[in-house]
């Protein structure tokens, strides 16, 4: 039987939100090479300006992903590393 950790509904919703946004950042944004080739045609912007906008959008997405999320304090009661033989 697999053991899991219990999380609250809010933590679950936050994890889903972070997963969705990180997936969007990873898959939906164009690579720099793609942007270089298509920025003028698709957006009417030169490459440097399109890259700047893309960077700002990625930062905004990352900010949205962590909004309202805090890292809980964790205490490790005992730590017994296994020494190699």
The residue-averaged pLDDT of 4-20 equals: 88
pLDDT digits (tens, 9 = 90+) for 21-41: 999 999 999 999 999 999 999
Closest by CA position to 49, among listed 41, 58, 62, 40: 40
* Spatial CB neighbours of 56, under 8 Å, sequence gap ≥ 6: none
pLDDT digits (tens, 9 = 90+) for 38-55: 999 999 999 999 999 999
Domain spans in the chain, listed from the N-terminal domain onward: 9-66
pLDDT of residue 77: 64
Tokens of 21: 């946004």
């Amino acid at each position: 039987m697999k053991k899991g950790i219990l999380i609250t509904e809010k933590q679950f919703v936050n994890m889903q939100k972070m997963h969705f946004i990180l997936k969007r950042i990873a898959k939906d944004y164009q690579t720099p090479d793609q942007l270089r080739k298509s920025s003028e045609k698709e957006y009417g912007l030169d490459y440097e300006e399109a890259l700047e906008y893309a960077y700002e959008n990625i930062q905004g997405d990352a900010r949205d992903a962590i909004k309202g999320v805090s890292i809980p304090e964790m205490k490790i009661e005992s730590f017994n590393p296994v020494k190699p033989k």
